[in-house]
A and B are shown apart, each in its own frame.
Chain A
Amino acid sequence: MNYLIGLLIFTLIIVILLQVSKISQVAAKIRGEEEVAMQRNNNTAFWMMVFMIVFLLGTVFSAYYYKDSMLGYGPWASSSEHGSEIDSMFNITLILTGIVFIITHILTFWYSYKYRQAKGNKPIFLAHDTKLELIWTAIPAVAMAFLVAKGLVVWNNVMTDLDPTENYVEIEATGYQFAWDVRYGGKDGRVGNKDFRLIDLASNSLGIDFTDTLSQDDILLGGSDKIVLPVDTMVRVAITSKDVLHNFYLPHFRVKMDAVPGLPTYFSFKPTKTTQQMRKELSKYPEWNEPYDPKDPEGPKRWEAFEYELACAELCGKGHYSMRRVIEIVDRDTYKAWIAEKQPFYLTNIRGTDLDPLKDKRLLPSEIKMRNTELNKLVYDAVNAVNDSASTATTIRFKNVYYETGSAGLESDSYFELDHMAGLLNKYSNVKVEVSGHTDNVGDSAANRELSRQRAQSVVNRLVQKGISADRMVVVGYGDSRPAETNDTEEGRATNRRTELRVISKS
């Protein structure tokens, strides 16, 4: 029915227009074709002028009306360092082209009006004018040279890759249909290798190569976590794709780069405004003081709900329009605290499981490093707690000391922890320690006590080898007499089988 009404209205309009046309043709015959043609020509010329005035005013006023959407102005000023340069390039170009736009439009329409056909007009015969042509070849050439030079300086500054020795935060964004996965470089600050053949959607959706030491401390963000980044710090985004083309687009930061499967790309930028600062700035603008959700006028205002956003800007399929993630820019200290709480994906999810390609390897360099840092703190605390009899801090449990089964002989993997401990005892040369062995309650109690003493002795022997004087150390075998946990469960018994070091005095 609607179709029919539409069709009827359209037909009616056409019929009316054709009748108007016929009438004017008849009128032309009566009043003289030429005169009517002139009259029409005049009318059209008049409307050309009206169009020009309305059009030019419309462009200028609409630009003013939408100034808050213009690059570099008000709420739409860039939130990154290089972004401001892009904004100013944009505005220089806008001014230059704006002048040309207005002048050429005025000339086009003014000439069409002024030189409209009229009786007695004497058109001039003007085929060319070399001087004029040279001038208007030179002007755009010079203007273009200026814009090219300025633009390329900005471009090369933005696009030159960072020197890997520089100080920057590296994250990796991986696009896939239809979301982004984000990985942080972790402690070493660099993201490690990955390989699409290693992808396993359940356990390793990025295909991270865990044998790369750079990968082992990498942090994976959850699918809906905010991407937190520090302000005033260079951020390098390594951009990759798993399936089709995507584009890593941060509109507020003037960041945009395709994600191409099999071809890693990058973009580096320095955020200059935290999310909080941006919200505060936006609160000054009336349109940002409207409610965020129009259906909930009492709810948060737009500026309060403001978030930086990551979008996809390369058609990637039917969900292309929905690849959103939130970016949060925070001050550097908040960032440090935030990242410190994040656990490396490999160590928490993969290490020691069947999926671990390094499960045969008991200790990884990164783990040794982490344990050493841990020991530094534990020994420091123990030395300071030595006069506090209530404190348990004086006792340190060796985590990575391994004995051959049923004997007291040390396996070589134990040396990492023991040698580091030797170094610490050297540092704190004024303390005396007790090295004690413990077992669970399985088997003969006396035998247990003897084995635990022998094992403690093996530890002391290694420490002596590493230059610690034997008279600073007391060796004790407690056997099963001092369980740390219940002996009723396997986990408890495992905890009870241990070697400990206790700081007993400080001179």
Chain B
Amino acid sequence: MASVETLTREDVLIKEQGFNDHFHDHHHGDKYQTGFLGHYVFSMDHKVIARQFLITGIFWAVVGAAMSIIFRLQLGFPEESMAWLKPLLGKWIEVTDGVGKLSPEFYYALVTMHGTILVFFVLTAGLSGTFSNLLIPLQLGARDMASPFLNMLSYWFFFMAGMVMLYSLFISTGPFSGGWTAYPPLSALPQASQGSGSGMTLWLVSLTLFVVSVLLGGINYITTVLNLRTKGMSLFRMPLTIWAFFVTAVIGVLSFPVLASGFFMLIFDRSLGTSFFLNEIFIGGQALDRVGGSAILYQHLFWFLGHPEVYIIILPAMGIVSEVLSVHARKPIFGYTAMILSILAIAFLSFIVWAHHMFMSGVNPFISNFFVVFTLIIAVPSAIKVFNWITTLYGGNIRLNTAMLYAIGFISMFISGGLTGIFLGNSAIDIQLHDTYFVVAHFHIVMGVAAFFGMFAGIYHWYPKMYSRFMDETLGKVHFWLTMVGAYLVFWPMHYIGMAGVPRRYYSFDTFDAFKHFDTLNKFITIAAIIVFIGQLIFVVNFFYSIWKGKKMTTQNPYGATTLEWTTPIEPIHGNWPGNLPTVHRWAYDYNKDEREFVTQVEPAKEGEVVDH
């Protein structure tokens, strides 16, 4: 605990004007923090759970990225022998005459696992799991989550989901290989593909556990935001991070159960002889006696989650970026209210655009008209956000540290990837671009790379609040430039390949005259991907190195930020604030107002001062 000499202005304000909830009267000896298991493993402290989510997410990110390197090797260097991977992949490398070939079955398994892991385990759990947990109580002035126990369960369900998925990598028929969207009938019929056997069963079990995790977490975030805000923290004084996490949680709670229902029907079709998604199928030399279902029904259920899911991924990144930009530009975020409204508009629209993934799936073309309209409307709130971020930079005093670089990089990625969405959302153009590398380029930039950039901005920025130390800036900048340049070199050329009509999910392009003339570009992409992957290992080293060896945090509020997490002690404690809870007197963005570089939220308004904007 801070000694009397180092009391900051904020400490004094909280002590004198804060809200006494008698927390520490009831928590003598702090039963949560006793023992190794209680503290580090089955912890109910939101800050520990946040770090658990983050480190698990990093593990999965490395696994998922390594998979992409293996299938990129196949695409970039199809002639080269992969026999050297035999020790790792075993029978999935078929060696004839000393030349090792990746089996097509496993190629598709890798593609599928890469998608599933990155979308769900890294960019959903790793991103919003980490930062919602860390920041919601800290920035709202709460002692912890509304239900610390459910919060712990949320992590452990995620952990179990991961274990089941990990196990599926090692079974003899291999993991699921029908694409992360798992469209039936391919995913419903074990006779359609090796990976649709036990691998698919495990995939469904794993993701069902994952849905439970998301729901437990989401309910908790929503409850905490609605009920545990400290005195004075009205909804429209919350930092944009919290708005983003809150809306993300709402979207998740509304959409994940729909996915679960789709999964249950799929499980029934696979195991109980129903035919929700099966109709008029002749496979394995036999006509299937189950008829009357619709394969497209699954796609509706999947994308009713699937589309909100991309906003579940990108909204937290947007929130983090808004906060980081404002802090390091030393300016209020531009258009705070417009930012909130556009988050709400995006969230609402995200529920009525799902069929834009299905323009070419055989749904009635007339229905597509509505989905085109709603889809392209999303460009408006998205554009507002971009303009607001750029205007936040305008006239600032910008600290270009690693967190800020990632926030700025996020803007660039979001613009590049968002604009290509305007092509794909227009059904007429989608006829040609659907399921080509153009789509791969689009979603990787806008929700893969951009979301990672938001995540990195958050990690570099709030690392001191997790480990009381800073990450190494030199390694951080090397990491940034490798990632920024590398990610564009990987994904930008894919636009050209996609415009030329090359379909995604191809094991080899040699069969087709129209697709096989991009070998140079494919080599280039693979090499760039390997470099980016090595760049991420630098991050991993930096992350773990800095936990023990990073520069120590010596002041409570090193960035001069206004939000409440920077009024907590340097060494985190259970309950977050040693005495009273802070009370809030103003919005979160008073930077360089009235000759003061920053004014924290706990500072009471002067007479006649306008405190909300």
Contacts and interface: CB of A to CB of B under 8 A. Distances in A.
Interface of A: 2, 10, 13-14, 17-18, 20-21, 24-25, 40-41, 44-45, 47-48, 51, 55, 58-59, 62-63, 66, 69-71, 76, 83, 85-86, 89-90, 93-94, 96-97, 100-101, 104-105, 107-109, 111-112, 115-118, 121-129, 132-133, 136-137, 139-141, 144, 147-148, 151-152, 154-156, 158-160, 176-177, 196-197, 199, 201, 207, 242-245, 247, 249, 251-252, 254-258, 260-263, 265, 287, 305-307, 309, 311-322, 324
A148 B376 contact: yes
A263 B505 CA distance: 24
Interface of B: 84, 103-105, 108, 177-179, 183, 185-186, 189, 192-194, 278-283, 285, 287, 291, 293-296, 329-332, 334-338, 360-362, 365-366, 368-369, 372-373, 376-377, 379-380, 383-384, 386-391, 393-400, 405, 408, 411-412, 415-416, 419-420, 422-423, 426-429, 431-432, 434-436, 472-475, 477-478, 481, 484-485, 488, 492-493, 496-497, 499-501, 503, 505-509, 511-515, 517, 534, 537-538, 541, 545, 551, 589, 591-593, 613
A315 B332 contact: no
A127 B332 contact: yes
Contact of A249 (B338, B488, B503): B503
Contacts of B493: 62
A125 B104 CA distance: 58
Contact of B400 (A66, A116, A320): A116
Contact of A44 (B415, B477, B506): B477
Given A123-B329, A126-B395, A324-B512, 16 more contacts: A45-B400, A55-B488, A69-B500, A89-B429, A96-B422, A97-B423, A101-B419, A104-B386, A108-B411, A116-B400, A156-B365, A244-B192, A256-B432, A262-B293, A311-B512, A315-B186
B380 A137 contact: yes
Contact of A320 (B334, B405, B507): B507
A252 B484 contact: no
Given A147-B376, A151-B428, A261-B281, A128 B613 contact: yes
B110 to A, nearest CB: 12
Contact of A17 (B281, B435, B474, B589): B474
A388 to B, nearest CB: 55
Given A66-B496, A258-B361, A262-B295, A97 B419 contact: yes
Contact of A51 (B335, B377, B388, B484): B484
Nearest to A239: B362
A316 B189 CA distance: 12
Nearest to B359: A155
A151 B372 contact: yes
A112 B398 contact: yes
B505 A320 contact: yes
A242 B426 contact: no
Contact of A108 (B368, B390, B512): B390
A305 B282 contact: no
Contacts of B280: 196, 261-262
Residue among B291, B428, B488 with max Cβ neighbours from chain A (10 Å): B428
Contacts of B293: 262
B144 to A, nearest CB: 32
Contacts of A201: 285
Contacts of B335: 127-129, 133
B405 A44 contact: yes
B282 A107 contact: no
Given A93-B422, A261-B279, A313-B503, A318 B395 contact: no
18 contacts: A48-B400, A70-B499, A101-B415, A115-B396, A117-B400, A125-B593, A127-B332, A128-B337, A147-B426, A155-B365, A197-B287, A199-B282, A242-B281, A244-B186, A245-B295, A262-B280, A265-B362, A287-B517
Nearest to A320: B505
Contact of B393 (A111, A117, A128, A129): A111
Contact of B592 (A63, A109, A123, A155): A123
A134 to B, nearest CB: 10
B501 A251 contact: yes
Contact of B390 (A107, A196, A312): A107
A70 B501 CA distance: 9
Nearest to B415: A104
B401 to A, nearest CB: 8
A256 B431 contact: yes
Contacts of A62: 492-493, 496
Contact of B279 (A48, A262, A321): A262
A476 to B, nearest CB: 56
A63 B492 CA distance: 10
Contacts of B399: 41, 117
